DNA sequence: GCCGGTCATTGATCGAGGTCAACGCCGCCT
DNA sequence: AGGCGGCGTTGACCTCGATCAATGACCGGC
């Protein structure tokens, strides 16, 4: 478990963001628009654990992961973020997590003082944070009480668009299939689920053998029976 | 792991709260004071998982735990709350967690619409939620990557007042002692740390044998060497 | 005092998942 | 083409924590 993954230091974004007035029609625009608009590629780090941060980030598009390291190298990916999610908070002036894009992303960076001054912004952020709080509660359940296969099944269900881990069409319903993109390596999935990459691999293989999953490429999995997979998450 | 604790259905609070204007000088009073003020005893449940909730709660004094159940009875305590913390959010109209007092508590219950209408209140809540978010990130690290003894040590450090799990006075410093109250049973500690009660008990015994802990009563533990305990949390 | 219930401790054994290691696949570079 | 490095899979083995079970400590009621 020591050094679950050495030398993972992707290049930090430098200046491919544009300073200025953000205007985004795809997302409910807050009244305050004094935000930096960042456009990042895949696998770029936004902040490192311990960095001084003065910004709060709002993810418009793409995916971001938040992770933490223990001094001996053990890593935990504490949150996976999608469009609408926010991050960059901390009790102190330094970030408690690292943030890295999992795929090309667009985001808004608000100065903390800007946020403190704007009620609209705070309402938006509070709304979102409460959703993320619930997500973290769910994840604590997963990490504390679920088996390896249940964790992987839950993870895959979370990847299903518009279903967010919530339920299948109903038991007995005609088995439906979904193709999901998995923008994480096995090691990353392991670090997210509190497992090792071997255990994750074995769980994938098991689900494949059982016919719940079909895949060739590792980053594109066909869930052959959403309903049945959903029932192996332990939550139903 | 099935039914980690059957028949735990403490009495629900009924009517020992006073409706009306809350005025509390011990806590930074929000401008909006349209809150129900609840005064509860120990071991009373505030909401059950699945209950319809229209309120957001602000804990003024005491301690509350939030827990979730899996259909087969596995339980996870997802958060331990102290004065200042907030809860009662949910993506849906139903609570995603149960809330129960761990000791006598005073709290404020705000109607959701009241919150939505008050910028002051939202600012207060957002501030607190971001702290709780960080706490949950930390806890995910614990659940996903720490060993049993590290978890128990981390838990005990979190119980140290005014130190919140953060650091010892410094290595080499004269060993300092603290007496901490532990208002949880071993089973509850286990459900919080993602372990079984036996494993928790063994970890306590081990730490005691190593001289890091001294105790007779189970709910009052003397940390004999905060610094050394802190070093067995895995975080330093 | 005795008794029953709850909670904690301790021991013995088991098993899920971690660890270590070999190998396969695939894309990329020269 | 050949070689190489990153990622994933699979197998063999081991360990930490779960499980099962017995016992002990404490507390309240009669």
Segment A71-112, tens digit of pLDDT: 999 999 999 999 999 999 998 999 999 999 999 999 999 999
In terms of phi and psi (left: phi > 0; alpha: psi -120 to 50; beta: otherwise), the region of B7 is left
Confidence band (pLDDT; 50, 70, 90) for A161? confident
Percent of chain B with pLDDT over 70: 81
Residues of chain B positioned with their CB less than 8 A from the CB of A71? 234-236
Considering all nucleic acid strands, name the nucleotide whose C1' atom is nearest to the C-alpha of residue A199.
Answer: C17
Dump pLDDT digits (tens) for A128-145.
999 999 999 999 999 999
Given a cut of 90, whether residue B75 has pLDDT beyond it is yes
Res B176: pLDDT: 86
Helix, strand, or coil here: A202? helix
A194 and B66 within 8 Å at the Cβ level: the answer is no
Does the CB of A92 have a partner CB in chain B at under 8 Å? Answer: no
pLDDT of residue B219 exceeding 50, the answer is yes
pLDDT band at B173 (very low <50, low <70, confident <90, very high): low
Return the pLDDT at B220. 94
Average pLDDT, chain A: 86
Q: How far apart are CA A233 and CA A151, in angstroms?
A: 7
- A177–chain B Cβ distance below 8 A for any pair: no
Mutate to test the interface with B, among A133, A143, A191 (most CBs of B within 10 A): A133
**Choice among A36-45, B3-12, B121-130 with the minimum mean pLDDT:** B3-12
DSSP-based three-state secondary structure for A131: helix
Nearest CA-CA partner of B226 in B190, B179, B192: B179
Chain A with chain B: Cβ pairs closer than 8 A:
132
Strand D contact nucleotides, protein CB < 7 Å: 7-12, 16-21, 26-27
In angstroms, the CA of A186 and the C1' of D8 are apart by: 8
CB atoms within 10 A of CB A172: 7
Radius of gyration of chain A (CA): 19
Tokens 């795809």 belong to: A26
Residues with CB under 7 A from strand C: A 1-2, 147-149, 194-196, 198-199, 216; B 185-187, 197-198, 200-202, 204-205, 218-219
Neighbours of B42 (CB within 10 A): 14
Dist CA A204 CA B104 (whole Å): 47
Cα–Cα dist B53/B112, whole Å: 9
For B143, the token pair is 């659940």
Tokens 């899996």 belong to which residue? B70
Q: So what's the pLDDT on residue A174? A: 62
Q: Coil, strand or helix: which one is B151?
A: helix
More confident residue, A87 or B22: A87
Q: CA of A16 vs C1' of D6, distance in Å?
A: 28
Q: Give B104-141 pLDDT, tens digit per residue.
A: 999 999 999 999 999 999 999 999 999 999 999 999 99
As a rounded value in angstroms, the CA-to-C1' distance for B216 and D26 is: 11
Residue A28, Cβ density class (10 Å: 0-12 exposed, 13-18 middle, ≥19 buried): exposed
Distance CA B88, CA B112 (A): 9
pLDDT value of position A176:
86
Of B176 and B76, more confident: B76
Closest approach of A200 to chain B, Cα-based (Å): 14
Please say if the pLDDT value at position B224 is more than 90: yes
Q: Is A122 on the interface with B (CB under 8 A)?
A: yes
- Is B14's pLDDT higher than 50? no
pTM of the entire predicted model = 0.89
In the predicted structure, residue B103 carries a pLDDT above the cut 80 = yes
Distance from CA of A149 to the nearest CA of B (A): 15
Residue B101 C-alpha, separation from nearest chain A C-alpha, in angstroms = 18
* Contact partners, residue B205, CB within 8 Å, separation at least 6: none
């Amino acid at each position: 478990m020591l050094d679950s993954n050495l030398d993972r230091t992707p290049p930090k974004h430098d200046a491919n963001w544009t300073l200025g007035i953000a205007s985004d029609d795809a997302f409910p625009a807050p009244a305050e628009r004094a935000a930096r608009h960042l456009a990042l590629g895949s696998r770029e780090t936004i902040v490192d654990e311990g960095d001084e941060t003065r910004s709060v980030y709002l993810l418009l598009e793409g995916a971001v992961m938040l992770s933490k390291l223990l001094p001996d190298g053990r890593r935990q990916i504490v949150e996976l973020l999608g469009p609408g999610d926010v991050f960059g908070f901390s009790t102190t002036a330094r970030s408690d997590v690292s943030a890295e894009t999992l795929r090309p992303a667009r985001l808004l960076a608000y100065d903390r003082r800007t946020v403190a001054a704007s009620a609209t912004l705070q309402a938006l952020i509070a709304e979102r944070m409460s959703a993320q709080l619930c997500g973290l509660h769910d994840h604590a359940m997963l990490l504390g009480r679920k088996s390896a296969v249940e964790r992987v099944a839950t993870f895959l269900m979370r990847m299903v668009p518009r279903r967010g881990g919530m339920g299948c069409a109903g038991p007995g319903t005609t088995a439906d299939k979904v193709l999901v993109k998995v923008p994480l390596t096995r090691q990353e999935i392991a670090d997210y689920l509190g497992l090792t990459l071997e255990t994750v691999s074995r769980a994938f293989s098991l689900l494949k053998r059982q016919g719940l999953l079909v895949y060739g490429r590792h980053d594109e999995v066909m869930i052959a029976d959403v309903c049945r997979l959903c029932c192996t998450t332990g939550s139903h």
